[in-house]
Amino acid sequence: MTNHTPHADLREFLERCDAAGELVHMKGVHWDLEMGAIAEIVNHKRAEAPAILFEDIPDYPGMRVLSGATNSSKRLAITLGFPEPAHPMDVVQAYRNRMKTFQPIPPREVETGSIFDVVDRDDDVNVLKFPVPKLHELDGGRYIGTHDQVIMRDPDEGWINLGTYRVMVHDEKSVGLWMSPGKQGRQIRQKYTDRGRPTPVLICVGMDPLMFLASGNELKWGLSEYDYAGGHRGAPFETVRSELYGLPMPAHAEIVLEGEIMPGDDKIEGPFGEFTGYYANHPSEQPVVRVRRVYHRKNPILTMASPMRPPSDFNFSKCVMKSGMIWDEIESAGLAGVKGVWVHEAGAARMFNVISIKQAFAGHAKQAGLLASGCQSGSYMGRYVVVVDDDVDPSDMFDVMWAICTRADPAQDIDIIRRAWSGPLDPIYDSASSTNSRAIIDACRPFERIKNGSFPPVARGSKELIAQVEAKFADVLKKI
């Protein structure tokens, strides 16, 4: 089934997920640790777990919290308007096919939207009116921004950037905003700070999940995530201007905070359990957003992503998206013969990426590994890139490890890249240089041995034989 008409907002998306059996309703779960624990239990229980809509939250009547919006193949297909997939690689392939003709679509500004159902101004602002979760026992506080988008305007070029950054509640009217070094939002903020000017900020914490997919991945500088998400939607997103700074808000978002960062206005933020599965960075002085407006719909839905030791309630969706984005970027750079790309959950959706190719020349595998390691979508906090032959399923960890063990010679087929882009969330990065190293593993059969026929054949039945025997003994095999 394909949804040919894009969902209008998060609520219609949830209706479609409910109809597809992809949503679980849970009542009476408390914001203090219980939501985070439920997300861990559900997502560690099985792959591609359902989304969870927390309802009847104690002390927060009418308000809801959503965990795991896009964290399955089916929900990703609903989000992106793809056919229902039989395998996660179907979503990756659908993404790759779309990108061959993809065109960004800028948002359309409208006069009003449901985000203006309720507007709290200045003294009436209270971000704790929402059921903001405390996700992990060792966290330094409650985090309103996990499944979020921080909206900023570049002061030089005027383009709008949306990024997913963590947002910790300090008190009713202020939040801490942590951005990793090198991220586009941090570069934009620095431009305002260097001029001694306040940084205008919107923080959306309840949005169309397609916007979250756009905000949570590395796009090229100058391409607004609004435009990128609109291109995948096939229609422009509607935006409205915020009251204070005229920044574009999603017109049908659930909750948006508006405020500013004043130069030198910092406060201790953290610790926070992150997507690598560690408390990798220590509490530190981070910029404070003084919140002066809170916009929200009636009975709003706060979106939540709970970073933890993988798998989490969001990193599967990140794996699928990054797989498609890396595939698109390395092919766009001129690499031929790519048969599949998979970014593994065990690598926290960044640290273990596998490229499958049909080798055409000596050095083909090395080219694939270098491109995948250095492209925009694969560069930040990378660790291992593995290149395998096209007879290996890049999404099957057992298959990949078999290829590494039988086709890669450690002395010849592992290359190390040093001083690459990393950040404080990497538990073993070099804090002095803010970089890390990464390995490219060529787990392909040596090309010259393919050409001369000296590499041993794989011991397994042909596809034709397996299909013939399966058909002949189907009645018995289906019981096994």
pLDDT digits (tens, 9 = 90+) for 358-388: 999 999 999 999 999 999 999 999 999 999 9
Every domain of the chain with CATH number 3.40.1670.10 lies at 333-451
Express as a percent the part of the chain with pLDDT over 70. Answer: 99
What is the pLDDT at residue 405?
98
What is the pLDDT at residue 476?
93
Express each pLDDT in 442-466 by its tens digit. Answer: 999 999 999 999 999 999 999 999 9
User: Counting beta carbons within 10 angstroms of the beta carbon of residue 365, is it exposed (0 to 12), middle (13 to 18) or buried (19 or more)?
Assistant: buried
Does residue 3 register a pLDDT over 90? Answer: no
Q: Return the CATH fold of 10-304.
A: Pnp Oxidase; Chain A (2.30.110)
| Residue-averaged pLDDT of the chain | 95
Strand order in the sheet with 108-109: 108-109, 238-241, 248-250
Cα-based distances in Å from 76 to 2, 97, 100, 275, 436: 12, 15, 19, 20, 31
Average pLDDT (176-194) is 95
Express each pLDDT in 302-360 by its tens digit. Answer: 999 999 999 999 999 999 999 999 999 999 999 999 999 999 999 999 999 999 999 99
Q: Say if residues 317 and 71 touch (Cβ distance below 8 Å).
A: yes
Q: Say if residues 82 and 94 touch (Cβ distance below 8 Å).
A: yes
Q: What is the DSSP letter of 338?
A: E
Q: Say if residues 244 and 112 touch (Cβ distance below 8 Å).
A: no
Task: Name the β-bridge partners of 387.
Answer: 355, 442
Every domain of the chain with CATH number 2.30.110.10 lies at 10-304
Q: Say if residues 421 and 379 touch (Cβ distance below 8 Å).
A: yes
CA–CA gap between residue 477 and residue 284 (Å, rounded): 58
CA–CA gap between residue 302 and residue 255 (Å, rounded): 7
Confidence band of 24 (pLDDT split at 50, 70, 90): very high
CA–CA gap between residue 170 and residue 286 (Å, rounded): 11
Confidence band of 4 (pLDDT split at 50, 70, 90): low
Confidence band of 281 (pLDDT split at 50, 70, 90): confident
CA–CA gap between residue 365 and residue 382 (Å, rounded): 18
What is the pLDDT at residue 98?
93
Q: What is the pTM of this model?
A: 0.90
Which of these CATH numbers, 3.40.640.10, 2.60.40.10, 3.40.1670.10, 3.90.1150.10, describes 333-451?
A: 3.40.1670.10
Does residue 1 register a pLDDT over 70? Answer: no
Lowest mean pLDDT among 105-119, 184-198, 269-283: 269-283
Average pLDDT (170-197) is 96
CA–CA gap between residue 279 and residue 273 (Å, rounded): 5
Residue 338's nearest CA partner among 313, 368, 315 is 368
